[in-house]
Amino acid sequence: FKDHKKLGSPPPPPTQRLPLLNEIWKHVTRVEDPAVYVGIASEYVEYVCTFFGDREVCVLVGDVISHVSPDRAYLNLQDELGRIGTSLVNKYTDFRRIVALPVFSSFLDILQGPVRKHLGKSLLTLFLDLPPGASRDPVVLHTGFTLAKGLHDELDSLSLDDERRQSGALIARFVRMVEFGDDLEKHLSFLVECRRFLVNLDVVKEAVVCVVASLIDRANDKVKMKHTRRPMSFFKG
């Protein structure tokens, strides 16, 4: 496998790509040492992301997960797994597509520490690029919230100010971006969750308060200035 880095440069003719991948991968998948295996696989994932579709990507990433999961071998292979994650983000610039991959959640689960944080920022940035209304999809929203919470929870008293600013800015943008159309009750429930789980960053708390104030204005317009109890109690709290 010593020439695996050269596989895609120059790329093989289209008619040869899948047969070549199948021939090579039947040998790669037999590699038992997780470190050796994932070192090779991380290069082939980039090739597959460049020249193939969702099916081949899922087969390959699923194979990676099955190789590094026993005995939690993935804990010592984070750099290689991070490269795989970067290849996925580079291919799937639409957050909805990467979230829809059957292997996405399982792959995210094996990422740890700085690698997960770095990929989390990249993924949340993709979320922020979604068109208006796309965040209403329950799976998309749940994944975005999980990523935002992950960035929030990684911060502690030892975190650098610049790190806090970067993460805080991303999470605050996430809070401001999510919308539910005319369903103010569902939007308020989302903000309750934000206030519950994203409490350690002032910029995020400010974003929550601003969005709540905007909801109250919209609610007032709907009920002709008759305050509903829940928005007002939330705002005062």
pLDDT at 10: 73
Give the pLDDT confidence of 142-171 residue by residue, as tens digits.
999 999 999 999 998 888 999 999 999 999
Grade residue 92 by pLDDT with cuts at 50, 70 and 90: very high
Phi and psi, residue 81, nearest 5° = -65, -35
Q: Which of 12-26, 114-128, 130-144 has the lowest mean pLDDT?
A: 12-26
DSSP 8-state symbol, 20: H
Residue 132 exposure: Cα atoms within 13 Å on the Cβ side: 1
pLDDT of 60 > 70? The answer is yes
What's the rounded mean pLDDT across residues 44-48? Answer: 89
Average pLDDT, the chain: 90
What's the rounded mean pLDDT across residues 13-38? Answer: 92
pLDDT of 212 > 70? The answer is yes
pLDDT of 79 > 60? The answer is yes
Residue 8, number of CB atoms within 10 A of its CB: 17
